């Protein structure tokens, strides 16, 4: 009998705060759908990470369900993937505390995102903001994750997770899989519509990004207002024409056309025609997702089923890891 090869495990977590953007779709969600047949995937809505900033409880609950519905509407199959809320699996917090005890203050103080977020939230520089990379490491290591889909701005977080895993393994033996980064073959770095030298971010002002749930008239308005230049030439030149290059990248990612094909098609037609074409492309991609999102959001019983199943399946894997960790550390439960 042919032995079944165990799939490698992928873990990715997305905070529910803010509106998931076109950049999240192109860089992450679309790729998640591609990965689900080849890998054993867990996708977590990391609501505990959101608590480093004060949240309105009712709004956070809505945001969590909205994010899960977007995952499902984007093509993630809850049978093939484990989709769950981080806070519903208590082992995240437990392992986070344990790994805090294997992480050094100096390591945390060097994290660039702590410095950035401290500047943004100077009135609330809390301990969670300082140590959240350790909770992120726990998120990953809890599931014996082989691969973590990351962008360039997340490499530092993966490195600290690897360092913590290697440190723990060095003391207690082979406890955690040491994860590697997964860099998607399909994707593009989508930049801010108003500051095209910066990555599109859901934490920035709304006119700088296209949200997955933005309706057609909003999408068209935002793209028409996107920053370009005065030359009116559709040429892919990220250094000198970052705004135009960003819009070309979006069209290329969604249509499958090359930069040369796009430049040739809109040569001499001006930015107005080009921006409308980009808007058409984005709307055609997002409208089916939005329609599916509306259908799923209205089906509370289905969302509850996905939530319950995801929690149970994630907790079962986490439990196995925590039994091993507890045994190595000498903490309960014991068998007397």
Any idea which residues carry the catalytic annotation? Answer: 117, 199, 202
Contact 318, 92 (CB under 8 A): yes
- Of 32, 50, 49, the closest CA to residue 41 belongs to 32
C-alpha span between 289 and 84 (Å, rounded): 20
> What angle do helix axes 112-120 and 127-141 make, rounded to 10 degrees?
140
Can you list the positions of beta strands (E) in the chain?
Answer: 9-14, 40-45, 81-85, 147-149, 180-182
> Which residue's structure tokens are 């509106």?
19
C-alpha span between 306 and 323 (Å, rounded): 26
C-alpha span between 139 and 318 (Å, rounded): 10
- Of 116, 199, 107, 118, the closest CA to residue 159 belongs to 107
Q: Cα-atom radius of gyration of the chain, to the nearest Å?
A: 22
Per-residue b/e over 206-235, b at no fewer than 16 CB within 10 Å?
Answer: eebbbbbbbeeeebbebbeebbbeeeebbe
C-alpha span between 101 and 91 (Å, rounded): 16
C-alpha dist (Å) from residue 53 to 50, 71, 124, 208, 313 = 6, 23, 7, 21, 29
C-alpha span between 7 and 146 (Å, rounded): 10
């Amino acid at each position: 009998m042919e032995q079944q090869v165990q799939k490698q495990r992928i873990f990715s977590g997305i905070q529910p705060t803010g509106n998931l953007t076109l950049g999240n779709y192109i860089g992450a969600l679309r790729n998640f759908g591609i990965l689900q047949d080849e890998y054993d995937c867990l996708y977590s809505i990391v609501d505990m990470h959101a608590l480093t900033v004060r949240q309105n409880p009712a709004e956070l609950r809505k945001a969590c369900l909205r994010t899960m519905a977007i995952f499902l509407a984007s093509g993630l199959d809850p049978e093939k993937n484990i989709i769950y809320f981080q806070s519903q699996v208590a082992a995240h917090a437990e392992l986070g505390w344990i790994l805090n005890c294997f992480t050094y203050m100096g390591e945390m103080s060097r994290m660039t995102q702590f410095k950035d977020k401290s500047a943004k939230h100077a009135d609330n520089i809390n301990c969670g903001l300082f140590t959240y990379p350790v909770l992120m490491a726990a998120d990953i290591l809890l599931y014996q994750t082989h691969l973590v889909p990351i962008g360039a701005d997340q490499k530092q977080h993966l490195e600290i997770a690897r360092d913590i895993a290697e440190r723990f393994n060095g003391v207690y033996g082979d406890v955690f899989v040491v994860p590697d980064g997964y860099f998607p073959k399909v994707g593009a770095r989508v930049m801010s519509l108003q500051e095209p030298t910066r990555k599109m971010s859901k934490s920035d002002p709304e006119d700088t990004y296209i949200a997955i749930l933005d309706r057609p008239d909003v999408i068209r308005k935002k793209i028409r207002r996107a920053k370009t230049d005065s030359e009116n030439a559709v040429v892919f030149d990220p250094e000198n024409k970052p705004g135009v290059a960003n819009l070309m990248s979006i069209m290329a990612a969604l249509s499958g056309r090359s930069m040369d094909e796009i430049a040739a098609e809109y040569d001499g037609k001006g930015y107005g025609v080009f921006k409308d074409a980009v808007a058409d492309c984005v709307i055609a991609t997002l409208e089916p997702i939005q329609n599916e999102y509306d259908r799923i959001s209205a089906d509370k019983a289905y969302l509850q089923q996905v939530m319950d199943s995801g929690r149970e399946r994630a907790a079962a894997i986490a439990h196995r890891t925590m039994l091993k960790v507890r045994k190595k550390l000498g903490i309960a439960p014991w068998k007397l």
